[in-house]
Amino acid sequence: MGNTYRAMEISSPGVFSLVERKIALPGAGQVRIRVEACGVCHSDAATVEAQFPNLSYPRVPGHEVIGRIEEVGPGVTTWKTGQRVGVGFFGGEDGTCEPCRRGETVYCQNPIITGVTTDGGYAEMMIAEARALVLIPDELKSGDAAPLVCAGITTFNALRNAGRAGDTVAVQGIGGLGHLGLEAPMSSLRPRQADLRSVACFPVLKFGANL
Ligand SMILES: [Zn+2]
Ligand SMILES: [Zn+2]
């Protein structure tokens, strides 16, 4: 293995550049991941087009990352090399701001956001906070798992908070996120209504929704 890796970085707003970077050691509490798959999310466009406040360039987009841990940094005790993990949009909370101290880490005032405040998965490897990782089961292919760590968790959370099992729900639009809501095998909710304007009704038919 050489001491460089390739990354697709945004060198300035709107400009993609394929670059060679020097492999970095993970810092305290971090791991370095060899990327196996990275989904493309619409939010990546905000990195490309400088729509997030205080973005600095160059920046590697990509927050639907699946890869294998190659090296663990100092103080990481819960993960080991060789494990296949996922990293999503929320790359870590500071643990000290008011929302964090209330336990609402999703509203952290100083979050690490993969592909926005730190480099993401449009690369052969990336550094991630160990506390932001999820373990990927062996039976799930990396390419199939990648969208689940952003689009999948978004729809899963929406369904989980929309009602109780057995409730009727409407999924408006069956695009990149909506179809995952319909397919979600982890949900006991059954799709019954679908947006007929969608061009992607196939999953609904497959799962027996009434159109
Ligand atoms: Zn996303
Ligand atoms: Zn915080």
pLDDT digits 0-9 by tens, 163-185: 777 777 777 777 888 888 777 64
Whole-number Å distance between alpha carbons of 68 and 126: 10
Cα 38 to averaged position of ligand 2 atoms, centre (Å): 26
| Tokens (6 digits) for 121 | 């998965």
Cα 113 to averaged position of ligand 2 atoms, centre (Å): 12
Higher pLDDT, 190 or 30: 30
| Closest ligand to Cα 110 | 2
- Assign domain 4-140 to its CATH superfamily: Medium-chain alcohol dehydrogenases, catalytic domain (3.90.180.10)
Under a CB-based contact definition with an 8 Å cutoff, are residues 115 and 47 in contact? yes
Higher pLDDT, 171 or 209: 171
Cα 152 to averaged position of ligand 1 atoms, centre (Å): 9
Under a CB-based contact definition with an 8 Å cutoff, are residues 102 and 117 in contact? no
Cα 204 to averaged position of ligand 2 atoms, centre (Å): 39
Cα 117 to averaged position of ligand 2 atoms, centre (Å): 14
Cα 58 to averaged position of ligand 1 atoms, centre (Å): 19
| Closest ligand to Cα 148 | 1
- List pLDDT tens digits, range 37-89: 999 999 999 999 999 888 999 999 999 999 999 999 999 999 999 999 999 99
Extents of the domains making up the chain: 4-140, 153-207
Distances (CA, A) of 87 to 76, 113, 133, 142, 167: 16, 10, 5, 12, 31
How many Cβ atoms sit within 10 Å of the Cβ of residue 69? 21
Closest listed residue to residue 175, CA positions, set 193, 202, 153: 202
pLDDT-derived band at 28, boundaries 50, 70, 90: very high
Cα 112 to averaged position of ligand 2 atoms, centre (Å): 10
Cα 42 to averaged position of ligand 1 atoms, centre (Å): 6
3-state secondary structure at position 69: strand
- List pLDDT tens digits, range 90-136: 999 999 999 999 999 989 999 999 999 999 999 999 999 999 999 99
Phi (first) and psi of residue 4, to 5 degrees? -130, 165
| Tokens (6 digits) for 204 | 């609904």
Under a CB-based contact definition with an 8 Å cutoff, are residues 73 and 31 in contact? yes
| Closest ligand to Cα 101 | 2
Cα 68 to averaged position of ligand 1 atoms, centre (Å): 20
| Closest ligand to Cα 44 | 1
Question: In this structure, is the dihedral angle defined by the CA atoms of residues 123, 130, 180 and 43, taken in order, positive or negative?
Answer: negative
Cα 148 to averaged position of ligand 1 atoms, centre (Å): 10
Cα 198 to averaged position of ligand 2 atoms, centre (Å): 38
pLDDT for residue 33:
98
pLDDT for residue 160:
79
Whole-number Å distance between alpha carbons of 198 and 101: 42
